[in-house]
Structure formats: C-alpha cells, structure tokens
Structure 1
C-alpha cells in the first residue's frame, strides 16, 4: 500500500487537477490519498469533496512529506522537494525538457511520464492522457474559433436573406483535429480537413467533412504520428497550402511531432493572404513555437486583420472535463504499476524516465548525452 499525493498545479493558467474526488473514492480502498488543500479549487472540486471521498487534506509540505507517489499534470515548480525513493507521475515532457529528467535521476526519484505512453498498444488506451486531453482541446478549439469569428458558423435563412455558413479548415486529423472537425460540423460550419497520413484522411471522410486534396503523398511513421517532412516535401506542401488556406474563414491547426518543434503550416506570407476577419486557432502553440509563424503561446493577436489565437493549452480551460478524464488515465496506470518498475513490461518501460538514480529511458538519455559538451 502506497500513499498517493495530489499536488496543486503551479504552472501559469493551469486549472486542472491530477485526481478528482470520484477517482479518489475508487482509489482509497487500495491506497491512502493525501491532497494538497486547494488542489482542485480551479476545477471546482473543493476540499470537502475530497474529504467526503476519503482523502486526507494537508498543506504542500505535508503532501511532499507523507506521499510515496505524487501525481500531477505538469512538473511542479518545486520538484526539487522530492526525496529519494519517491515516485512522481505526470505529463513531464522529458523529450522537450531532458534537463528535468537529469535532476530527478540525481535526486533518486522514480519519474513516470504519461506523454511517453505507446498509444498503439490496446491495453494502454485507458491510460492515454494525451488522447484524453487532446479530445478536450479539439472540442474547445471549435468553440473558441466560433466565438472569435465575426459571422455565423451555420447556414441561416433570415428575413433579411440567407447567411452563408463559415468555411472551416482543420489541419491535422489526430484526436484533437477530428474532435475539432466534429464539433465545428455540429455548429453548422462547412468543414474541410487535411492530414499527411492516409488513414487520417479516411477518418476525416468518415466524419462527413471534406478532405483537402493537395496532391501530396501520404506519409506516416510506425507509431501512428505523422513523421517530420523532408525539406522537399515541406516546400511542396507549403506552396499548396498557401493557396488553399486563404479560401477559408476559420483555420484550426493541430499538427505536432512528439519531442520536436511543431511544423510551421501557416507562414507569415500565408497569414497575410487571408481575408480580414478570418480566424486561426493554433493548438500546437507552445514554448518552441506552433503551426503558425509568429504564434506566442497563450496569446491572441490581430495580424493584418486576422485573429491569431495561440491556444496550446486549451484543455486547461475546461478543467472539470479535462481533470475527470486525466484522473481516470492515472487510475488505470496506477493499477498497472508494480512496486518496482518492471522494465520488461512494454508500458512501464515506455513511461519510466528515471529510476534508482539513473535515466532509464533510452530516448531521454540520448538527448542528454547529445546535449553534453
């Protein structure tokens, strides 16, 4: 039996919480749960709800001191307070911040990162936090776009005449993209989707949306993500997208390559060619840029009459739904873990970043070794 600690998130504008009272109730029969006071307040889960679910409420120091396993959404700002032998689980992003992995290894902490989960394994699906959070983000992207757009999304017949529906383009048909397509269609827009992967193009068509045909070959990697395009492929794609994007009222971009900078799908010249009043929502916007040239994560800018919304963390703006889904992902992972990480198990080997003073994840270790002078 291990005490599970729930930390209050410290990342800016983060409103999610790692465990919800409902999941605490399901977990308490197996493991005691210690929740930092106020951890769920931004998602409207109060301390009293956690107490009623069987959790103990404490301050941050008590949670660090009394927990064997700490769960979070993002790495806490005070991660150095972790002690040797503790385990931390969250979306730690070690492929974009390998330095954190080095610090955790040096501290003797076992770190498990949900963003490394092999999404192609069927038994990993209940633990797939990237999918659950992308689903929330894709839904909210369509809502945000509709709010920012100065016209109607649906076709309307009014006494003053017929109002044409908005033309919406979604670039990238992963989980977020498909949810954005489905939501925009529910709102009445005429929706077109685009992806470089052939299976994803078929999924776009299955939603009833049109598939944007740029005449380019379909590409994919073994893990189901789109691989990075070659220089020639990227140039050809950009030229074709340049003309296509300017025909749409709203564009939602969702393309990401794990551990790498997101591909730039809409350069500044394309953005400048869009009609005034158009809206672009960049779901890939992050600290290293996004799918749109000039995206600054967490900001909204008016660029030559085009509203550019760099919304890389939309799941946090729907904290109740996103936290509930994420907590269930954590519950599934906790149920699959052994007292000591079993690195022969596909899932545990994939998500374990550090253990017993060492970085055990090959990709993270390779990144750190490559960064060393």
Structure 2
C-alpha cells in the first residue's frame, strides 16, 4: 500500500506528520511513501531530504489520487475532503467528538478514518500516543515561553549587589505536559508547586521536586487515565486550597483539559485581580476555551498587571522535534494495525476499536 504525507495548511502549524527518518522506516517495512511538495519545509525538512530516503514528492492532487493511506496531524479540511473517496484510509487527530460534521462528510464519501487522539490510555498504546509525545514538548516550551515573558529570572542568585530570590511557579494539571513543565522549571532553579484533581499524580509531582497541593476528590478524579470534569463542590474547595500559592506565583502554567469537552475554568477574573503585578499565565488549554476565564487563543491579555497568554504552544514552535516524535507514533500505529502491509481490521482489539471512527462509510464512534 502507498502512504501519502499531506502538508498541514492550518495557520501557525509548522509540523509534518512523518519526517524523512520515519518515512525511511516505513519504506523498509515495504510501504511506498509519497509526500506532498514542501510538506516538511516548516519543520526544516526539504523535499530532497525525503527523496534521499526513497520518498516520491508530488503535488497535492496527485498524493490524494495515488495513495491508499493519507496521513495528517490536524483534521482534514474542506478542500481535502472533496478529494477523498471510498478507497482511502485516513489517519489524523480527528477530534471526532468536536468535529461531527467532518466525520459525517468522511462517511458520505465511503472512506475510512482512524483518529490518533482517540487512543486508549493503556500500556500497549504508549508508543503511539501523540497526545503524550506532543504534550511533553508543550510542557517544556511553556516554561521557556514563560521565562521570556517574565521580568524576573528563575534561580536564586547571590551577587555583590544583593541576593535575588527564586521565582515561584505554579502548575495546574500534572499530566504529561505538567510533569515536563515541573522538571523544566526546577532545572531552571524555580520554586515549583503543582496541583491536580488526580491524587495519583502527587507522587510523580513530588518526585520531580514540586510541592503538591490538593484536596480529597472523593473518587471523582479520573476516568480511563484522563482527568474528569470536577463537581462544583470540588472545584470550590480546590480553588481555596490553591489560592495562596496562586497569589504568590510569578509564573502560572495551566494544562487541564477534558477530552471532547470545554476546558475547565481554574482561574477566574476575580482571582487574576488578586495575583501579583507582573505575573504571567501560560494557558495551554486555550484551544478548548482555556483554564483562565480571561484567556483568548493566540492572544496576550493584560489584566491588572497580569499577562495571560492563551496558546496550545507549541509543539508547533519546536516543529522539528515534534514532527519526528509524531512520525514515530504514526509509524508504531500503522505497524500495529497492519500485517504484511495490509490492515488486519481486528475490531475486537481495543486500540483498533477505539481509534476506528468511520469504516467504509459507516460511522462507528460519535
């Protein structure tokens, strides 16, 4: 079968779904690989880099026409959906619960689509988990972005002119992004605190040097490895416990997202008013509404001296590494689903079942 790597056309998107190194591995597995012209250019991969490993470079229309498997990072756009038909197998982050119209259009074309963001949080799927690989980079980059936007340095510094006290960093959400943010902020010398609804993350946060702040969630914390939406009572108690640290923080990084739903509001406008003048909030959940009530996607809002930056960060801003990691996830996923370069279609397998959203025009997951 022939795999087509499509160029991402979303604004500010610089990644590519498969890097030349990963394309070479697919070819060694027996697949033919075609890449859209300049698909990797924003990740600093030239057409010649692909050609050197045996990938054929084609224009967009030819990729759709020639290839059986079409891979992307983001959901397929309107123009792309016009070019698919019933022989295509699509693989991307579809976010099918948020994009029912796209799911419907794929089904109407009789095509098949797997959604990488729907992978179950089980050990067998870890090496395919794009949310984890990309969030890892986002957590790192959020701290670097915060350091750039702050007017203070992170570490304790003793000078002849006096001692500079370390900055205080507070991280909401101790998932993959949060853990990397903790580790990065600690390496830079900050005093780090973290909070999460899931009590099982306490040990992980503390092992990286963060003080953990929480209240008893009464069993409402997580579901299938993901955080659940908190009740109003829990949200109130959690807010009271965290407020003291929030009002002292120089940098706050929020990472809390619930799959398929709007991001929970963790920092209200009233809380922002009580934060330190000059504090910075990096809201990584802005694409789903934001964890800060004042966040706006891809914008910087200044309120009472607090700078609130709404972003997804950022795998896009380290696109070379992000593309390579995403591509490795994609390689492992395709390798898992196929045998002798043909799909196994084992619908009793949990990974196949949960990621296969539409098969031959039939919608399986909504």
TM-score, normalised by the number of residues in structure 1: 0.93
Contact 1:43 / 1:319 at 8 angstroms: preserved in 2? yes
User: Paired residue for 1:298?
Assistant: 298
Q: Which residue of structure 1 aligns with residue 23 of structure 2? A: 24
1:166 aligns with 2:167: yes
Alpha-carbon distance change, 101 to 238 in structure 1, aligned in 2, over 3 angstroms: same
Does the aligned pair in 2 maintain the 1:198–1:219 contact within 8 Å?
no
Per the alignment, in what secondary structure is the counterpart of residue 315 of structure 2?
helix
Deviations 1:193-226 (A, max 9, x none): 1111111111111111111245665643341122
Kindly indicate whether residue 336 of structure 2 is the aligned counterpart of residue 311 of structure 1.
no
Instruction: Tell me what 1:229 maps to.
Output: 230
CA distance in 2, matches of 1:240, 1:98: 38
Determine if the alignment matches structure 1 residue 354 to structure 2 residue 358.
Answer: yes
Cα-to-partner distance string for 1:237-276 (whole Å, 9 max, x where unaligned): 2333344311111110011111111110001111111111
Structure 2: how far apart are the matches of 1:322 and 1:58?
A: 23
1:76-87 mapped onto 2 (5 Å cutoff):
76-77=76-77, 78-80=79-81, 81-87=83-89
> 1:216 and 1:343 mapped to 2: Cα distance?
35
Q: Secondary structure at the match of 1:246?
A: helix
SS for the counterpart of 2:227 is: coil
| 1:50-69 equivalences in 2 (<5 Å) | 50-69=50-69
Does residue 289 of structure 2 align to residue 289 of structure 1?
A: yes
2:208 match: 207
Question: What is the aligned partner in structure 1 of residue 345 from structure 2?
Answer: 341
Q: Take 1:308 and 1:237, find their aligned partners in 2: how far apart are those partners?
A: 21
SS of the aligned residue for 1:157 comes to strand
Asked if the contact 1:37/1:57 (under 8 Å) is kept, the reply is yes
Is the contact between residue 71 and residue 90 of structure 1 (CA under 8 Å) also seen in structure 2?
yes
TM-score by length of 2: 0.95
Specify the alignment match of 1:325 in structure 2. 325
- Does 2:3 correspond to 1:4? yes
2:153 maps to 152
Aligned length: 359
Match of 2:91 among 78, 89, 92: 89
Deviation at 1:173, TM superposition (A): 0.2
Asked if 1 retains the 8 angstrom alpha-carbon contact of 2:24 and 2:54, the reply is yes
Question: In structure 2, what is the Cα distance between the partners aligned to 1:124 and 1:216?
Answer: 28
How do 1:52-131 residues align onto structure 2 when only pairs under 5 Å count? 52-77=52-77, 78-80=79-81, 81-119=83-121, 121-131=122-132
- The 3-state SS of whatever aligns with 2:49 is helix
Aligned to 1:325, what secondary structure does the other structure show? helix
Deviations 1:352-372 (A, max 9, x none): 0001111112xx1xxxxxxxx
Q: CA contact under 8 A between 2:5 and 2:71: conserved in structure 1?
A: yes
